[in-house]
Amino acid sequence: MENTVQNKLNAIKEGAIRDFNKAQDSTELYNFKVQYLGKSGALTEAMKLMANLPKEEKPLFGKLVNEVKAELETLYSEVENKIKNQEINAQMSHQKLDLSFSVASPAKGNEHPIFRVTNEIVSIMSRLGYSLRTGPLIEKDYYNFEALNIPPNHPARDMQDTFFVDDTHVLRTHTSPIQIHSLENEKPPLRIIGTGSVFRCDSDISHLPNFHQIEGMCVDEKVSMADLKGTISFFVKEFFGPQLQTRFRPSFFPFTEPSAEVDCSCPICKGKGTNCSLCKQTGWIEIGGCGLINPKVFEFAKVEYPKWQGFAFGFGIERMAIIKYGVDDIRHFPKNDVRFLNQF
Ligand code: DAH
């Protein structure tokens, strides 16, 4: 093989050995590596000389280049290890670590109690085949009232003090409009649960202008008050505990007929009522309303009645949280004071 080619290869090798060994730190060493072994480094350049060699010498030259490359790569990792160790030792000698120094552990976040209760309710109902729906917070008057059989100027509107956005839109006053969206867009049989924020122009120790509700609706071919009672009683026992009783009181809602209010026995005084401020000494606490879906609602949503029938219910989530956790004032929930939230 031509001496010049071989000499050139040797020169590269020796240069690299010398430079690798004299590198002062890992950056300098890396720069040398690029210079000799990089994509456009000296060794790659040397490969180009192969083009001028006679055919029979080409394999030998290729082999030589590869040997040099392997040798230099081994040397590089040895030197690199040595330099890195030196660097770590140098760093440790002037940076002292005090392993006994105690650091406050980072504050842990957790779910807001309202979300926790919501998720728990959704999970109980999903075991009965109910699946989750949502709806807009700003509703057309039609969905919030009219299609739920609450006509304009009807006294039933007074039950819900409303925030009006404009002449035809309101901040939804309850989650019941989710029923109408589902009836309009889906085909029965239906088992849905709707949750979210609702708004009413109301604020005192037991009312918030923005609170949360959970809505349930079941539509099928034969649905009775017995199905409704069975479902709600199951739900209450799952949520509050098996010792709790449920009671249904006749009531009125324009979108259900017959309608009922649901009470559960007070978990604090166990239904006895003696000196209990939570249930105001009655032994019972109201959690929401329910009933069989009024045929008028089916008519608005264009669902064939009596082929399809149904029941619905709506509960206040803050109220359920108050009962479950024994909270004394509903206004704690939106304050987000961590001293309160940390208790859950
Ligand atoms: N939407 C009612 C309210 O906010 C609660 C309610 C009552 C919902 C009866 C229902 C129901 O689905 O059937 O006062």
- Between the CA of residue 289 and those of 108, 194, 214, 272, 312, what are the distances in Å? 37, 15, 11, 23, 8
Pocket test for ligand 1, best of 149, 161, 253, 286 (most atoms within 8 A of CB): 253
Does the pTM surpass 0.85? The reply is: no
Residues in contact with ligand 1 (CB, 6 Å cut-off): 174, 176, 215, 253, 256, 288-291, 312-314
Low-confidence stretches of the chain (pLDDT < 50) are none
Which ligand 1 atom sits closest to the C-alpha of 293?
Answer: 13
Give the closest residue to 137 by CA, choosing from 211, 217, 216.
211
Spatial separation of the C-alpha atoms in residues 311 and 222, rounded to whole Å: 10
Which ligand 1 atom sits closest to the C-alpha of 148?
Answer: 1
Which ligand 1 atom sits closest to the C-alpha of 216?
Answer: 12
Spatial separation of the C-alpha atoms in residues 329 and 263, rounded to whole Å: 19
Question: Element (H or E) spanning 275, and its range?
Answer: none
The alpha carbon of 214 and the centre of ligand 1 are apart by a number of angstroms equal to 9
The whole-number pLDDT of residue 2 equals 60
Q: Which residue's C-alpha comes closest to atom 5 of ligand 1?
A: 314
The whole-number pLDDT of residue 236 equals 92
Give the closest residue to 255 by CA, choosing from 200, 302, 312, 199.
312
